[in-house]
Amino acid sequence: MKYLLTGGAGFIGSHFCEYLINEGHKVVVLDNFNDYYSPQIKRQNIAGFQDHPQVEIVEGDILDGSLLDRLFDRHSFAVIVHLAARAGVRPSLSQPMLYQQVNIQGTMELLERAKSAKTAKFVMASSSSVYGNNKKVPFSEDDPVDHPISPYAASKKACELIGYTYHHLYKMNITCLRFFTVYGPRQRPDMAIHKFTNLIAKAEPVPVYGDGTTRRDYTFISDIIDGIAKSVQHCSGYHIYNLGESRTIELHALLKLIEESYGKAAVIDRQPMQPGDVNCTYADISRAGNEIGYAPKVDIRDGVPAFIEWFKHHHED
């Protein structure tokens, strides 16, 4: 099959592209290599497959309607996996209009072309951020998500709503995946595990927001890739799935695990809680397990050392 993979040079996208290659699929990767973090990192992400015969790399923007029209004229996509987005809760507070434009309008640009082309399956990335500071844990897909606490979270919820609209009006098969803090080799440098490891390696202060008791449901990249693949396989109608490990770890315990895995103590810099941050993320994955066979395998006590091993190999002086 032929896939359109947006954001395919990013952390999750590059791993999923490798999976598709190994499965024998053809992939058109669309990525604008923006400077949210170093474009050079994204180019390193795709270095292993940029010249692969099954892959076409297109450097461009999901907001570029003319480019999208040319791609859909040239290719007949069986599946669209839409991972491109402006990411991050805190940056969305200072650039809310950019997040609205890229995440919401960009998704609609793709849905419009998929509708016209009658693309069979459309799988898009959402986020655990849509749950806000939900008091009920673990978070279930049936929980109300009407109180997002960041523009990023609101944009992701909007994409889910728009996806349902296109399913309802045009009978499109659409699946939305609520990712819970994905980590592993090639993780974005702004995300906690990578950021903390990098600061510990440099003996620089590690900012700890709050009292260290905030909890996150960290999900290893291989489990996310498996979840995306199963979502594509079962994409029919309209569905929302949580993809997490369905376990949580407190911030201070995560830091201790990173310290032990790296073999070096952190210099802690205590900071107040930041606007937009949530106290806990915790995925109920029973629906994904029952309906698509999602079953995460990598415990964080194994995943963090695996990330540290990758980090040390790729950050040698």
Catalytic residues: 152
Helix axes 251-262, 300-314, angle to 10 degrees: 50
Do residues 239 and 283 lie in contact, with contact meaning Cβ atoms separated by under 8 Å? no
Phi, psi torsion values for 31, nearest 5 degrees = -150, 140
Q: How far is CA 214 from the centre of its chain?
A: 20
Q: How far is CA 80 from the centre of its chain?
A: 15
H/E segment holding residue 290: helix 286-292
Annotate 210-238 with DSSP letters as a single string. TTS--EE--EEHHHHHHHHHHHHHT--SE
The residues, ordered by sequence, that sit 6+ positions from 304 with a Cβ below 8 Å of its Cβ are 183, 193, 254, 257, 258, 261
